[in-house]
Structure 1
Amino acid sequence: MKQSPPLPASPWWTPQIHADRRPILLARNRIEAAVRLYLADADFLLVDPPGLQRSPGNETHLHAFGTSMIGNDGVGQAMYLHTSPEFTMKKLLAAGETRIASFGHVWRNRERSALHHPEFTLLEWYRVGDSYDAVIADCVALLQLAAATSGVTALIYRDRQCDPFAAPERLSVVEAFMRHAGIDLFASMDADGVTDGRALAQQMAALGMVVPDDTSWSYLFSLILTDKVEPNLGVGRVTVLDRYPAAEAALARRAGDDRRVSERFELYACGVELANGFGELTDADEQRRRFVAEMAEKERIYGERYPLDEDFLAALSLMPAASGVALGFDRLVMLATAAPRIEAVLWAPVAQ
């Protein structure tokens, strides 16, 4: 399949431009219908979390849109558009639901690029009692479903292709960093997963990489992942990037065999991250400690922090063991239609 041309500069709502965009938008609708049927056949209950929340999420590099909810007394309360329906969905698991999915819009600030849009569609689902291998299998099935619905045998993004029907590659983050960047991540962690940014910076310097002024471990990890590792993932076949360092998995439980890593994975095709999933953490005290640390780091870097969702932390004590994952639906449509930018698969992009 040939790549679609870049989006023109003219407004998307002019009849001629809409006519050019319409085939991809109709493909989007067909893929959405197929995904909804898959969820129904797998006995997922579709839920509808509200977008307006007291806390938008508590991860360092996730940025929210804030607003004020004004009551009948005229007094305003700070609120946020959620960056994910995760907190609400886990409350529903605590309430007794066992297999749920959400198909809806989320909002993330400071994000706009060929692969990022400030408002986008997130498909998120949870399985109580299942390991995260089960949601990995769901992800692979949905990639295959999107390709089959579009009538293609390969997912495409720019000059990269991926066969979604081939057996996926499963690679730990530590293995991926060694293979694609020559970096030994374990050499910059202690036995409990506590990280050392200076040790990671020294490895980078020894390999001739540019070391930035900010040598916090998390920042260096993200740089190496983005520059050296991600472009090599999901090329030819799907990559499941597994067992993230515990320091980079704020909502995941630690692996039973190694405290340095957690039950977190990301799914890649054509060098594009499509999904992010966990074996879910249900220890409220540990979750609180992680959120407090994440917000302290957010304030250090960005000068702001978000409140904790106390209802969510209270609900964790009732939440059963579960696995869950969030998949960027717009990106999936992009790859199934060879679209070059995320705006090409949105019925109505947010104005720039």
Structure 2
Amino acid sequence: MSDKTWWRPERHADRRPALLARNRIQQAIRGWLGNNDFTEVDPAALCISPGNETHLHGFATSMIGNDGIGHPMYLHTSPEFAMKKLLAAGEQRIAAFSHVWRNRERGALHHPEFTMLEWYRTGKPYTTLMDDCADFLMLAAEAAGANEFRFRDAVCDPYAAPERISVADAFAEHAGIDLLLTIGADGTTDRDGLSAQLDRAGIAHAPDDNWSDLFSRVLAERVEPYLGHGAATILDRYPLPEAALARPSGDDPRVAERFELYACGVELANAFGELTDPSEQRRRFQADMAEKARIYGETYPLDEAFLSALPLMPEAAGAALGFDRLVMLATAAPSVDGVMWAPVADPG
């Protein structure tokens, strides 16, 4: 989805109020970050690896040296690796508004280039980020002069305290599925057991779907549409197999210190208690790249410098928030394109 004529004066006049609200929201959040002792950083977009999650697709390019030899590089899908290196270097509370790039993603909620707000706190539990997210919702609404967030027919009160529910409880409530029954204490999964539960719940799936595919089908079809209505929802305690960069929960090894923030059924933020074990991180990356090779026939290199930095990184919690989506909800725009000053051209 794209507005190919956004540059026409009459179209720009229609869009401009939301764009000015975008600027006010960004200024309000920057003020909050400064008042809370965050240092704003500006990570480079070019990187060795765009990320090592199975379904994440980067933009590839080449860096040509003075000798004329080209080296494969990517535009980052998140500033995460660079920002964690800064934590390893000694920074303690950092934030960035970064342009990031993701291929194979375009629609009302997706854009190939978008703005991500990412922030990290050392020495704090990941639950602290839930309070940060609640503050950002209120700041966005105040800056936009909005009493409510709206997307299509969904409405959310950005001033209300977010509701918090675990992924397992959400699966039980909305789909009648006992998710934790299909996860072992060592993080192994029971694909056939989850498949049988989807059959009983009447959720269609493919014969070659793995456990992660089945999980995603339930989440997208039965859970996400009901989150963030009336008040925002914090979907907490993700299964460990769905939290590649998060540490396990201290009270249940089947789940991780990961939550996502939803408003109006729209995912806004993804947060972790950060994993700092380089051996475990390497194992997870390699497993995800093996799955990527199986599905898409390609892999991305590992960022060895990132893995080397992990032992130096203190305990930390970090979150990434889709800034364009936040502005879209605060201005009741129909898509993220509507709150971008100059959307990416659609070549199709």
Give the alignment's TM-score, normalised by structure 1.
0.97
Change (3 A) 1:40 1:63: same
Which one of the candidate residues 52, 59, 71 is aligned to 2:53?
A: 59
Query: Which runs of structure 2 are paired with 1:108-127 in the superposition (5 Å)?
Result: 108-127=102-121
SS in structure 1 opposite 2:115? strand
Question: CA deviation digits over 1:30-69, x for unaligned, max 9?
Answer: 1111111011111100000000000011101111000010
User: Are 2:105 and 1:105 aligned?
Assistant: no
Q: In 2, are the aligned partners of 1:280 and 1:321 still within 8 Å (CA)?
A: yes
User: Are 2:156 and 1:162 aligned?
Assistant: yes
Question: CA deviation digits over 1:190-217, x for unaligned, max 9?
Answer: 2222112111111111222212132200
Query: Which contiguous aligned blocks of 4+ residues in structure 1 show a shift greater than 3 angstroms?
Result: none
Instruction: Tell me which residue corresponds to 1:36.
Output: 30
Q: In 1, are the aligned partners of 2:185 and 2:253 still within 8 Å (CA)?
A: yes
In percent, how many aligned pairs have the same letter? 65
Instruction: Tell me which residue corresponds to 2:64.
Output: 70
Q: Distance in 2 between matches of 1:256 and 1:10?
A: 50
Q: Distance in 2 between matches of 1:304 and 1:102?
A: 30
SS in structure 2 opposite 1:261? coil
Question: CA deviation digits over 1:114-133, x for unaligned, max 9?
Answer: 00000000000000000111
When structure 1 is superposed on structure 2, of 273-282 and 158-167 the one drifting more is: 158-167
SS in structure 2 opposite 1:259? coil
When structure 1 is superposed on structure 2, of 161-170 and 308-317 the one drifting more is: 161-170
Question: CA deviation digits over 1:5-52, x for unaligned, max 9?
Answer: x97x65111111111111111111111111110111111000000000
Query: Which runs of structure 2 are paired with 1:306-317 in the superposition (5 Å)?
Result: 306-317=300-311
Q: Distance in 2 between matches of 1:183 and 1:18?
A: 47
Q: In 2, are the aligned partners of 1:54 and 1:80 still within 8 Å (CA)?
A: yes
Q: 1:174: Cα distance to partner? A: 0.4
Instruction: Tell me which residue corresponds to 1:14.
Output: 8
SS in structure 2 opposite 1:244? coil
Which one of the candidate residues 312, 322, 325 is aligned to 1:318?
A: 312
Which one of the candidate residues 140, 152, 170 is aligned to 2:146?
A: 152
SS in structure 2 opposite 1:254? coil
SS in structure 2 opposite 1:123? strand
Q: Distance in 1 between matches of 2:4 and 2:325?
A: 23
List alignment gaps of at least 5 residues for structure 2: none
Instruction: Tell me which residue corresponds to 2:191.
Output: 197
Instruction: Tell me which residue corresponds to 2:178.
Output: 184
Question: CA deviation digits over 1:293-338, x for unaligned, max 9?
Answer: 0100111111110000000000001000000000000000000000
Partner AA of 1:98 in structure 2 = Q
Q: Distance in 2 between matches of 1:233 and 1:190?
A: 27
Instruction: Tell me which residue corresponds to 1:3.
Output: none
Instruction: Tell me which residue corresponds to 1:303.
Output: 297
Instruction: Tell me which residue corresponds to 2:285.
Output: 291
Q: Distance in 1 between matches of 2:143 and 2:203?
A: 43
Partner AA of 1:202 in structure 2 = A
Q: In 2, are the aligned partners of 1:154 and 1:164 still within 8 Å (CA)?
A: yes
Partner AA of 1:330 in structure 2 = D
Instruction: Tell me which residue corresponds to 2:265.
Output: 271
Q: Distance in 1 between matches of 2:149 and 2:93?
A: 28
Q: In 2, are the aligned partners of 1:198 and 1:215 still within 8 Å (CA)?
A: no
Instruction: Tell me which residue corresponds to 1:282.
Output: 276
Partner AA of 1:237 in structure 2 = A
Q: Distance in 2 between matches of 1:207 and 1:58?
A: 32
Query: Which runs of structure 2 are paired with 1:231-270 in the superposition (5 Å)?
Result: 231-270=225-264
Instruction: Tell me which residue corresponds to 1:79.
Output: 73
The Cα RMSD (Å) is 1.1
Instruction: Tell me which residue corresponds to 2:17.
Output: 23
When structure 1 is superposed on structure 2, of 334-343 and 183-192 the one drifting more is: 183-192
Partner AA of 1:201 in structure 2 = S
SS in structure 1 opposite 2:238? coil
SS in structure 2 opposite 1:260? coil
